[in-house]
């Protein structure tokens, strides 16, 4: 590599609210010549980038007709930009290493001799439930946390997830968080029930956590599919299964008793009861 080659930073954008960026992530965005961003990065965050920064959307769109840049194409574009002497940010929703293909990209970049760093981000697996009033762990409710992807690589012959083990974890009081699982919600719920998870186990779905149109649906394992359907829950959404979901009721009661603060931020707006889309 020449001494004037650029660098690539794999940056976690967090769940969406620009205020939840890390200080280092903010600095890398301000310094970048070009930002290759995912579809789940909010427009509000992209608008905070300097006007001189080139913004390139390489996000994968859902559905058979959506634009889907291959991972190989993305990898090669990152290398070309760095070799052209540009400082590059690869901006990913949440954390680059939590189902964000950051591991694949950092391997490719390292093999190509590109200087690369990882800037961790706040994963929606924790932030999504948190802003909805749900702690993923709690001394009185859950001492373990398991995070899984809601949809796996369709080329796999069989699931890499041990749903029987996941069901045992939930039944024993652990918290299960499913990312990117809206489309497979009925199948995932059915599988948990088949493996013995009680139908009255609390479940929450948090759509677009920390975005302006954030929305939360609460139910039980036996009702969450119909409730999510009735509410029109769409990706991106985080699903939380476990007794910690019951904590939200007490958080809401406290928020209501305190009254609505003037100028409340996104996190405060999340702490309201279900009752139709805002």
The residues annotated as belonging to the active site are: 38, 60, 180
**Distance between alpha carbon 211 and the CA centroid of its chain, in Å?**
12
Q: Supply the DSSP symbol for 260.
A: P
- SS3 of 95, please? coil
- Residues whose CB is less than 8 angstroms from the CB of residue 20 and which lie 6 or more positions away in sequence, other chains included: 14, 122, 127, 210
What span, in angstroms and rounded, lies between the C-alpha atoms of 195 and 207? 26
Is there a contact between 103 and 97 (Cβ–Cβ < 8 Å)?
yes
């Amino acid at each position: 590599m020449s001494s004037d080659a650029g660098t690539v930073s794999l940056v976690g954008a967090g769940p969406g609210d620009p205020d939840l960026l890390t200080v280092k992530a903010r600095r890398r965005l301000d310094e970048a010549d070009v930002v290759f961003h995912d579809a789940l990065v909010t427009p509000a965050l992209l608008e905070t980038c300097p006007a001189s920064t080139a913004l390139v959307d390489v996000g994968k769109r859902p559905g058979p007709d959506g634009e889907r840049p291959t991972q190989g194409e993305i990898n090669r574009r990152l290398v070309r930009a760095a070799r052209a002497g540009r400082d590059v940010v690869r901006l990913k929703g949440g954390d680059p290493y939590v189902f964000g293909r950051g591991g694949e990209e950092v391997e490719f970049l390292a093999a190509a001799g590109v200087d690369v760093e990882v800037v961790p981000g706040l994963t929606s697996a924790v932030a999504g439930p948190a802003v909805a009033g749900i702690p993923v762990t709690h001394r009185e409710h859950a001492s373990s946390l398991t995070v899984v992807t809601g949809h796996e690589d369709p080329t796999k012959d069989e699931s890499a997830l041990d749903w029987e083990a996941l069901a045992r974890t939930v039944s024993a009081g652990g918290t299960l968080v499913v990312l990117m699982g809206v489309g497979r919600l009925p199948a995932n719920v059915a599988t948990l029930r088949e493996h013995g998870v009680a139908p009255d186990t609390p479940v929450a779905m948090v759509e677009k956590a920390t975005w302006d149109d954030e929305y939360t649906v609460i139910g039980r394992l036996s009702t969450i599919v119909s409730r999510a359907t009735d509410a029109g829950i769409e990706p991106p959404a985080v699903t939380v299964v476990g007794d910690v979901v019951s904590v939200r009721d007490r958080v809401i009661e406290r928020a209501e008793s305190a009254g609505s603060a003037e100028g409340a931020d996104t996190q405060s707006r999340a702490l309201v009861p279900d009752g139709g889309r805002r």
